[in-house]
Amino acid sequence: MAEVAFKGVFALELAGGAAPELAALPPEQAGELAARVGRDLAALVEGVAGLDLVLAAAHFDPAEALRPDWPLHRRLQELQARAPGRGEGPRVLAFGADAIGGVPLPLQADPALAGGGLRVLPFLLVGAEDAVVAVAEALEEKLLALGMAQPDTALAAQDGFAARIEHARYLSAHDLAAMMAMQYDHQGLARLWNLVEAALLSPRAVEWLDDGPEPLLRLEGGEARLALFDPAAWCVHYGHGQGDCERLQRVYEQFLARQRQFAAVLEAHGIPVLYVHCNGRDDARELLL
């Protein structure tokens, strides 16, 4: 029977915005943390104990865990498939730093996304489809309300990463996505999140962001095409009178800053951005096709 996997994260909310001193745990500490994580999850849902637990004992920005094709979780599944003991019963597997403290490439976090107040350790629960589906349904129901890590698990993470941790909890990948959606909504980026979510959950979907004064975007095939306008073309596309362009220079500069913000968010989620120059005489939407 083919194996399937439940995707989750062990989320660490950092105190005071202080970044962890260590990027990944050495083998012994990684194994100890994974054992505690497995115990916590098994206490919530009985069927967890019958599945392989695979933990990345390295921390990432949430955006790195929410990228098309779920690359962090996919790497864990590849490591799980090659690990010894396959077919000999449930395993607890942890992957972090090597014996001399080096972090292998698949577990290296993006340094451009360091410094956030929330860091996540991806994990998988892997096994036969019927068992994983039952566990996944139960965890999706329970994690948001009951998913706080036990104190000794949080302390092991705090000591291991040399971090100051305010809260440590378990989330499904869907929970993490919902949390990010709320954060983006509070930042005025709800429409942009719709494109990120489509890239995650419906990779073949075609989505537009074409909303009033906002930048014009089209998502298809996991790539975003972003319309670039010079001041005159911007005036034409957004319906400003030609005589208003000079007066609206500051508004145009704010528009450019918004474009940069949109591009940075998309790229953080692993969605490449292709910039398309639009001259204002042609239909910008057609140029993005």
The dihedral built from the CA positions of residue 189, 192, 198 and 199, taken in this order, carries a sign that is negative
User: For residue 246, is pLDDT > 90?
Assistant: no
pLDDT at residue 101 in the model: 84
User: For residue 243, is pLDDT > 70?
Assistant: no
Mean of pLDDT over the chain: 92
Whether residues 164 and 208 share a domain: the answer is: no
User: What is the per-residue burial (b if ≥16 Cβ within 10 Å, else e) of 55-88?
Assistant: bbbbbbbbbbbbbbebebbbbbbebbeeeeeeee
Whether residues 127 and 160 share a domain: the answer is: yes
User: For residue 251, is pLDDT > 90?
Assistant: no
Report the percent of the chain where pLDDT is more than 70.
96
In angstroms, how far is the first alpha carbon of the chain from the final one? 42
Whether residues 137 and 254 share a domain: the answer is: no
Average pLDDT over residues 173-182: 96
* Number of independent structural domains in the chain: 2
In-domain check, residue 178: no
For 97-115, what is each residue's pLDDT tens digit? 998 888 988 899 999 999 8
User: For residue 244, is pLDDT > 70?
Assistant: no
Whether residues 156 and 191 share a domain: the answer is: no
Whether residues 20 and 103 share a domain: the answer is: yes
Nearest to 117 by CA among 165, 150, 158, 176: 165
Nearest to 271 by CA among 207, 211, 210: 207
User: What is the per-residue burial (b if ≥16 Cβ within 10 Å, else e) of 196-205?
Assistant: bbbbbeeeee
Whether residues 8 and 100 share a domain: the answer is: yes
Nearest to 246 by CA among 260, 232, 233, 236: 232
Cα Dmax for the chain: 75
pLDDT at residue 86 in the model: 87
pLDDT at residue 242 in the model: 59
Whether residues 11 and 154 share a domain: the answer is: yes
pLDDT at residue 241 in the model: 59
**Strand 52-56, strand 223-229: pairing:** unpaired
The residues, ordered by sequence, that sit 6+ positions from 4 with a Cβ below 8 Å of its Cβ are 126, 127, 128, 129, 132, 133
For 192-225, what is each residue's pLDDT tens digit? 999 999 999 998 889 999 987 899 999 998 899 9
In-domain check, residue 207: yes
Whether residues 138 and 228 share a domain: the answer is: no
221 in the Ramachandran plot: left (φ > 0), alpha (ψ -120 to 50) or beta? left
The residues, ordered by sequence, that sit 6+ positions from 147 with a Cβ below 8 Å of its Cβ are 44, 169, 170, 171, 175
Whether residues 146 and 214 share a domain: the answer is: no
Q: What is the pTM of this model?
A: 0.93
Whether residues 125 and 222 share a domain: the answer is: no
β-sheet bridge partners, residue 218: 208, 225
Domain end, chosen from 151, 173, 195, is at 173
Q: How confident is the model at residue 240 (pLDDT cuts 50, 70, 90)?
A: low
d(CA 236, CA 240): 6
Domain end, chosen from 173, 197, 226, is at 173
Whether residues 116 and 48 share a domain: the answer is: yes
- C-alpha dist (Å) from residue 64 to 9, 112, 119, 192: 11, 11, 10, 17
User: For residue 55, is pLDDT > 90?
Assistant: yes
For 30-53, what is each residue's pLDDT tens digit? 999 999 999 999 999 999 999 999
Whether residues 26 and 48 share a domain: the answer is: yes
Average pLDDT over residues 164-191: 96
For 125-159, what is each residue's pLDDT tens digit? 999 999 999 999 999 999 999 999 999 999 999 99
Q: Highest mean pLDDT range out of 14-18, 114-118, 182-186?
A: 182-186
Domain range for 29 is: 3-173
β-sheet bridge partners, residue 228: 277
The HSE-up count of residue 248 (CA atoms within 13 Å, CB side) is: 20
pLDDT at residue 281 in the model: 61
In-domain check, residue 182: no
